[in-house]
Amino acid sequence: MNHICAVTVPCLLLTTLAITVGINIALAEEYIPIKEECWNNLEEWQRFHITVRDSAANEQLSIAGYYFTKSIVREFYGGHLAHEAQAYVNAVEATWPGRAVLAVAVSPWGSQSSAPFFSPTNFKFSQDLSRYSIDTNQDIRGEKMFFGGKLRAVTAGFIVIPKDINLNKSFKIWYDKQYAKMARLE
């Protein structure tokens, strides 16, 4: 399962982030070469993956993302579309100056008979014994479906890491009861 996610998420993130940030990009064909190798360009500490399951242990959502910084975006794209990728980072930094941001893609997953429900309000962060929520009006940007609803296709966007998270220490990003550990931002 991680293999499929790793193959599709990078390509979808780039395409979606172009739309999300409102930057003009040439043609979608430019994104096709950016696949699994992009995801594999990132080190484990730079990325995360969460598989969300319902109470019957059916897989429902696949959530993947990475720190969205200049150096990590350069590693992610490995030279592909370097200029355009830098424009995305500049736009995100202008939107949230001085804040750490995660690029996130969410996909329906598994064999459920109906589309799973997705809501960004289900994202939480924790560090040590503290838990943090996100403000969906200020701390997220994304496609229309990234703001919630029955998810029939992949959606993507950005989530700002709460200000009180110490980026020099590891923390967890949660979706419902599942989480992924994020290493400190280097």
Residues 6 or more apart whose CB falls under 8 angstroms from that of 94 comprise none
CA angle 22, 28, 31 (to 5 degrees): 100
Question: Domain locations in the chain?
Answer: 2-182
The pLDDT value recorded for residue 70 is 84
The pLDDT value recorded for residue 109 is 80
pLDDT, mean over the chain: 77
Q: What is the mean pLDDT of residues 176-185?
A: 90
Q: Which two tokens stand for residue 16?
A: 């979606």
Q: Which two tokens stand for residue 114?
A: 């109906």
The pLDDT value recorded for residue 142 is 87
- Give the confidence band of 15 by pLDDT, cuts at 50, 70, 90: very low
The pLDDT value recorded for residue 75 is 78
Better pLDDT: 167 or 82: 167
At 61-119, the pLDDT tens digits run 889 999 998 888 877 776 666 677 778 888 889 999 999 999 998 988 876 677 888 99
Q: Which residue matches tokens 């930094």? A: 93
User: Residue 179 in contact with residue 173, Cβ under 8 Å?
Assistant: yes
3-state helix/strand/coil string of 13-43: HHHHHHHHHCCCCCCHHHHCCCCHHHHHHCC
Better pLDDT: 35 or 149: 149
Burial class (CB in 10 A: 0-12, 13-18, 19+), 25: middle
- Give the confidence band of 129 by pLDDT, cuts at 50, 70, 90: very high
